[in-house]
Amino acid sequence: MLKLENVSKNFGGLPALSDVSFEVPQGLVTALIGPNGAGKSTLINCTTGVLQPSKGTVSFQQKKITALPAHQVARLGIARTFQNLKLFPRLTVLDNVLTGLTCEGGSSMLMAMLRLPYLRHRERQLKLRAMEALDRFSLSDKADWPAGILAYGDKKRVELARATVSQPDLLLLDEPVAGLNAEETAEVGEQLRLLRSAGHTMLLVEHDMDLVMEIADQVVVLDSGKCIATGTPEEVRRNPLVLEAYLGR
């Protein structure tokens, strides 16, 4: 479904990613792991049009998406969360989640005006879907709150609701349970399991190894911007290069 070929990214001459190649197969969960600074977030950013790779290509469903801006990537059915939360703090929780559906909401102003009666009906449907997404993350009672005043764990789950509300073909999650308490982690883990059994394709950046081992079909390991291993969770766990990357420094 997603294919990266020799993706490299330099920041001011310093390589953050060097010739990274791997594939994310449809319907499976691929975990992307590696020590801090390995380049995991940079890779997600290069895949979603937030950053341009310095070199290499990214393809989604056989179509090259390397040069596309982020909003066009989103329109293709790729949704993501950010490691450092990116909510609109003054918008309500519900409106933040609705922004996850905007690419479905119509096109030009003129078209929108002509389609107003239809859109009014549509808006109710969109709100309903957004409320369902909030409900899945136990947030419906905070739908009218400004997102900025939420506690960290709630913000994190609003991001997940926003990323999943459109039922994207491909979901990229950058450390979805980092900083969450045990109860919140269990809840998010359960939602990820549900998404997985519903056949969603995911690329999951995660440090929680228990979650990775349980939920991932394949694991890709980055270290210092290089892909040092790919395989099943068991294969990767036994790989000496991976053990060295995590423990050998």
41 is a contact residue toward Mg ion (CB under 5 A): yes
Stretch that binds Mg ion, among 53-61, 83-91, 98-106, 118-126 (CB under 5 A): 83-91
224 is a contact residue toward Mg ion (CB under 5 A): no
Q: Return the number of the residue (8 or 140) whose C-beta is nearest ligand ADP.
A: 8
Q: Return the number of the residue (2 or 43) whose C-beta is nearest ligand ADP.
A: 43
11 is a contact residue toward ligand ADP (CB under 6 A): yes
Q: From the list Mg ion, ligand ADP, none, which binds 37 (C-beta under 5 to 8 Å, kind-based)?
A: ligand ADP
3-state secondary structure the chain: CEEEEEEEEEECCEEEEEEEEEEECCCCEEEEECCCCCCHHHHHHHHCCCCCCCEEEEEECCEECCCCCHHHHHHCCEEECCCCCCCCCCCEHHHHHHHHHHHHCCCCHHHHHHCHHHHHHHHHHHHHHHHHHHHHCCCHHHCCCEHHHCCHHHHHHHHHHHHHCCCCCEEEEECCCCCCCHHHHHHHHHHHHHHHHCCCEEEEECCCHHHHHHHCCEEEEEECCEEEEEECHHHHHHCHHHHHHHHCC
Whole-number minimum distance, CB 164 to ligand ADP, in Å? 21
Q: What character string, x for contact with ligand ADP (CB under 6 A) and - otherwise, covers 33-62?
A: -x-xxxxxxx--------------------
Residue whose beta carbon is closest to Mg ion: 41
Stretch that binds Mg ion, among 37-45, 54-62, 162-170, 187-195 (CB under 5 A): 37-45
Q: Return the number of the residue (40 or 80) whose C-beta is nearest ligand ADP.
A: 40
The rounded distance, in Å, linking the Cα atoms of 44 and 212 is 17
Sole binder of Mg ion in the list 83, 140, 167, 239 (CB under 5 A): 83
Whole-number minimum distance, CB 218 to ligand ADP, in Å? 18
Stretch that binds Mg ion, among 33-41, 116-124, 125-133, 149-157 (CB under 5 A): 33-41
Q: Are 42 and 68 in contact (CB under 8 A)?
A: no
Size of the site for ligand ADP (CB under 6 A): 10
The rounded distance, in Å, linking the Cα atoms of 61 and 103 is 19
Binding residues vs ligand ADP (CB under 6 A): 11, 16, 34, 36-42
Binding residues vs Mg ion (CB under 5 A): 40-41, 83
